[in-house]
Amino acid sequence: MKQLDIFKALSNKTRLDILSWLKDPEASFPEQIHAGFEVGVCVGEIQKKAGLTQSTVSEYLSILQRAGLVESTRVGQWTYYKRNEAAFEELSKMIQSDI
């Protein structure tokens, strides 16, 4: 069930924080050297801000991605993650109609 995966993905403080940071990357992260923020934010920056290990943050990002809440783009050795705003709109509507 897809709903369930979304709610599980949102059931963790750090993952909620990450989503909120990605809402305004310019404000939440220092300048990125290798790409503009349009592509998203790379794992390393998110990891530093989260204060958890690299493996944990990588895992968290993939949980968010499997839930459809973020999208990733690989550019060279970096993977950039950004929010999938459409998913949040859908979620908002889904709560009004399906739940």
Residue from 67, 60, 66 nearest 91 by CA? 67
Quick check: 84 and 23 in contact, CB under 8 A? no
Amino acid in the structure at residue 25: P
How many chain residues are in contact with a second copy, going by CB under 8 A? 21
13 lies in the site for a second copy, by CB under 8 A:
yes
Q: What is the contact mask toward DNA in residues 47 to 86, using x (rule: CB under 7 A)? A: x----xxxxx-xx-xxx--------x-x-xxxxx------
Q: Which does 88 bind (CB under 5 to 8 A by kind): a second copy, DNA, none?
A: a second copy
Q: Which residues contact 77 (CB under 8 A, 6 or more apart)?
A: none
Candidates 12-20, 25-33, 43-51, 73-81: pick the segment binding a second copy (CB under 8 A). 12-20
